[in-house]
A and B are shown apart, each in its own frame.
Chain A
Amino acid sequence: MRDYPLENRSAFSPSVAAGAAINLAPVTGGFVIHVLGDAKSDEAALKQVLAKIAPELGADVRKSAPNQWFWVGDADVSSERLTEIQAGLSNQFALADQTHGRVRMILSGPSSRTVLAKGTMVDLSADQYAIGQSAMTQIGHIGAMITRVEDDSFELIVLRSFAGSLWDELHHMMAEFR
């Protein structure tokens, strides 16, 4: 066990002022929890049970694979609270804290789709990709989950050890719009 609490702080700082044609910003704080369900689990049941046992954390779950989800939110979750939540879930779902293992970042602005199109082939057009929709895919060679969070705003979830590389890559992809 560690002797002191880890501080969840991003190594990156926002690159451009908000309102620019393109902006990349790290998400500081919050949690990312990998939820693994059994073969019979479904998303509706998961959302329902999360809303019941952890209403303060929201039920923003994103499908990453069959019977697997990433549960994300902006509050901080202590390991004690996580143990409580796990105890409240039936054996149907298992939680794995990924808060320190995955980095969230937001790419926003009118050019965000054009920038992402350089790295991924998932169709992110507004009429194809609804707000709240997400996909586990690759940006270049880096595995990332892309979620449309607002009109022209996408949240990327990437393994922490790849975050620096993706951050640099996105800066190259964004260069023409700045």
Chain B
Amino acid sequence: MSSLVKCPHCGLRPREEFTIRGEVATPRPSAGADEAVWFDHVYLRDNPRGEHREYWHHSGGCRRWLVLSRNTLTHETSEVVDASTLKLGGGA
């Protein structure tokens, strides 16, 4: 497993400097959505084989939230971006 993560602000850092928050959730349902839809959104998570997007916090470095694309088979990380860029059109 690759234990190095390329933080867009700090460069290559060990996995120990990061806290993993989990999967980047699907877009939030509308307020009036069905209870079942909300249940899915809040509690149900996929366990994909392959590419997976997760929130990682660089708690030991710049303290920024990052979005990381990780392959769950090889643990290779392909793309790491600052989470704030999602607001600018990267999509969730």
Contact = CB atoms under 8 A, between A and B. Distances in A.
Interface of A: 64-66, 121-122, 135-138, 143
B13 A137 contact: yes
A136 B17 CA distance: 10
Contacts of A66: 9, 62, 64, 82
Q: Which label, helix, strand, loop or mixed, suits the secondary structure of the A interface?
A: strand
Interface of B: 9-10, 13-14, 16-17, 60-64, 82
Contacts of B82: 66
Nearest to A122: B13
Contact of A64 (B13, B16, B62): B62
Contacts of A65: 9, 61-64
A121 B64 contact: no
Main secondary structure of the interface of B (DSSP, over half): loop
A136 B10 CA distance: 8
Nearest to A139: B60
Among A64, A66, A143, the one with the most B-chain Cβ atoms within 10 Å of its Cβ is A66
A36 to B, nearest CB: 12
Contacts of B9: 65-66
A107 B48 CA distance: 46
A143 B62 contact: no
B10 A143 contact: no
A137 B59 CA distance: 9
Contacts of A121: 13-14
